Amino acid sequence: MFDFSAQLKQRFSALRSPADFFSLRYVRQTSQHLSVRKNVAEPPHLSTDEGAMLTVRINGVEAYAATNDLSQRGLQAALEQAEQHARRLAPYALLDLRDQPVSTSRADYLSPNLEQAFPSLGDCYQLLSSESSAVPRDKRLSSWQVSLGLENVEQIYLNTAGAEIRQSQRYVYPGMSVTAYDGTDSQTRSLGRDNFGQQGGVEVISNCGLIGAATQVADQALQLIMAPNTPSGPLDLLLTPDQMVLQIHESIGHPLELDRILGDERNYAGTSFVKTTDFGSLQYGSRLLNVTFDPSIPEQLASYSHDDDGTPASKQFLIRDGILERPLGGALSQYRAGMDGVANSRACSWNRPPIDRMANLNIEPGDRTLEHLIGNIEHGIMMSTNRSWSIDDARNKFQFGCEWGQLIENGELKGVVKNPNYRAISAQFWRNLSAVGDASTFKVLGTPNCGKGEPNQVVRVGHASPACVFSQVDVFGGDA
């Protein structure tokens, strides 16, 4: 761990520049993705990526250059290229950053259980094969897959103000999916995959519930092909945490990114219905809605001590009692807008600059058990596990679909329905939040593939949430 640290510090100290300030951000990432499909092991996908980005500030103009040549000569060349960019940009610069503070932090951050070795490639394949072979023999089960992703990331940030931040993290992504087909309809039921990932070791596989899950996942896929279509009309909607992941992500996370609010994403992923003047006054949701940026849950995907600009990270309320308080804006966006934000300036790798990104974006638990949530619904539907989504470029109007639906009548769970979908307008939807589950319903989840920026950056995002109930939502089935 941090084997290159001493050598990198020595090379950084030897760099020469007339810049007022410069920094180096080193990233090394190794990853593997393993999969067993219908009891056949697929070839592993293995990768290693390593490099550094040099950032300079000259007369208030900031620029950067990246390199995978980590020799003294390679780092010096990248630094000089960044200097050239800064000088060329000077006549067109929109900001003078001379007064923007820089990091002086010194810290180490490690994922939980990082000292414990992860199972070997062979042991991982054996585990996946065992779970795959446990899928019941039924001719209607047409396809199934069990997978395991693993990423190890080591990052070192150094700057001329004395900062030295080292972070070593391991991310684990277990998953399973089973597809049933009856000759006319196919339905898929999944566990983990795109909505479950955590930092840590082998315990993450158990946290996901992957071990021993094959029978239940397959049974639910079979139930879906035999189930009636979801009815259409306004219903109370109970979303479980694995669907709340997508709901939080698309209709709170992206709209609150400050660079998007300032107009940076218009060419690529649109704008936001939120305005800078809304902070401190906009009733984003009901009084039950409390949303935090929280980098302090050790196992969550985007927990860290400092962001990629070296800003110390701490828990902050973005929405409190339904009122919008604070945007998802890192140091640069805060400086541009003159607003307080959070430490969420993040890059996907060494060859991309940090931009405003979601990190751990969570809904704080309420005081209702799952039984209480269900028991207070007269006519409604419970939905789990996202399978489709669509949202407009202002992150306002949306339509989401789920894998699993179950009707609720007079406070009791009833029959399974397939193709459950719902649609709404973001702020109106959150204002209809009528009940929030307690800590017993709260789950720490996340996704490895949030995309944003030009050129594109794909980062890990954590979302933790209890189960939540929304009143009178427009629900419809697959044939609506």
The DSSP H or E segment spanning 258 is helix 258-261
**Mind listing the pLDDT tens digit for each residue in 159-208?**
999 999 999 999 999 999 999 999 999 999 999 977 899 999 999 999 99
Residue 80's pLDDT band (cuts 50, 70, 90): very high
Give the DSSP H/E element, type plus range, for residue 323.
Answer: strand 323-324
Q: Please tell me which residue, 269 or 212, carries the higher pLDDT value.
A: 212
Q: Chain-centre distance of CA 24, in angstroms?
A: 25
Q: Is 140 exposed, middle or buried (0-12, 13-18, 19+ CB in 10 A)?
A: middle
Rounded to whole angstroms, how far apart are CA atoms 437 and 423? 22
- The predicted model gives 140-161 an average pLDDT of 98
If you average pLDDT over every residue of the chain, what do you get? 96
- The CA distance from 403 to 388, in Å, is 9
Q: Tokens representing 258?
A: 């400050």
Please report the pLDDT score of residue 1 as a whole number: 87
**Predicted local confidence at residue 276, as pLDDT:** 97
Q: For residue 417, what pLDDT is reported?
A: 98
Quick count: other Cβ atoms within 10 Å of Cβ 340? 12
Backbone phi and psi for residue 294, each to the nearest 5 degrees, phi listed first: -140, 100
Name all contacts of 180-185 with Cβ < 8 Å and 24+ positions apart: 180/138, 180/140, 180/141, 180/142, 180/218, 180/221, 180/222, 180/224, 180/225, 181/140, 181/142, 181/225, 182/140, 182/225, 182/226, 185/225, 185/418
Amino acid at 175: G
**Average pLDDT of the residues in 291-319:** 98
Q: State the distance between the two ends of the chain, measured CA to CA, in whole angstroms.
A: 54
In the numeric block, the tokens 């619904």 are attached to 377
Which residues on neighbouring strands pair with residue 389, listed in sequence order? 400
User: Would you give the DSSP letter of residue 230?
Assistant: P
> Residues 17, 79: contact at Cβ < 8 Å?
yes
What structural domains and CATH numbers belong to the chain? 5-226 (3.30.2290.10), 233-476 (no CATH)
CB neighbour class for 206 (10 Å; exposed up to 12, middle 13-18, buried from 19): exposed
pLDDT at residue 362, rounded to an integer: 98
Using an 8 Å Cβ cutoff, are 196 and 446 in contact?
Answer: yes
What length does the chain have?
A: 480
Answering whether pTM is above 0.85, one says yes
The two three-digit tokens of residue 308, written as one number: 């990629």
pLDDT for 101 equals 95
Q: Name the pairing type of β-strands 233-239 and 379-391.
A: parallel
Q: Are 124 and 148 in contact (CB under 8 A)?
A: yes
DSSP for 173-200, written as a single string = EEEEEEEEE-SS-EEEEEEEGGG--EES
Listed in sequence order, the DSSP H helices in 360-410 are 370-375
Q: What angle separates helix 72-89 from helix 5-14, to the nearest 10 degrees?
A: 50
Helix (H, G, I), strand (E, B) or coil at 307: coil
List the structure tokens of 457: 């950056």
Q: How would you classify the pairing of strands 355-356 and 361-363?
A: unpaired
Cα separation, 230 vs 480, in Å, equals 9
The number of C-alpha atoms within 13 Å of 277 and in the hemisphere containing its C-beta is 0
Predicted pLDDT at 266:
85
| DSSP-derived 3-state class of residue 454 | coil
CB contact set of 448 (below 8 Å; sequence gap of 6+) = 149, 151, 171, 173, 194, 197, 301, 458, 460
Over residues 220-246, the mean pLDDT reads: 97
Q: Which residues contact 188 (CB under 8 A, 6 or more apart)?
A: 177, 178, 179, 180, 221, 387, 403
Q: Are the beta carbons of 197 and 301 closer than 8 angstroms?
A: yes
What percent of the chain has a predicted confidence (pLDDT) above 90?
96
| Cα–Cα distances in angstroms (integers) from residue 256 to residues 262, 280, 291, 292, in the given order | 11, 13, 11, 12
* Strands 323-324 and 361-363, sheet pairing: unpaired
What confidence tens digit (pLDDT) does each residue in 13-62 have? 999 999 999 999 999 999 999 999 999 999 999 999 999 999 999 999 99
Residue 464, helix vs strand vs coil: strand
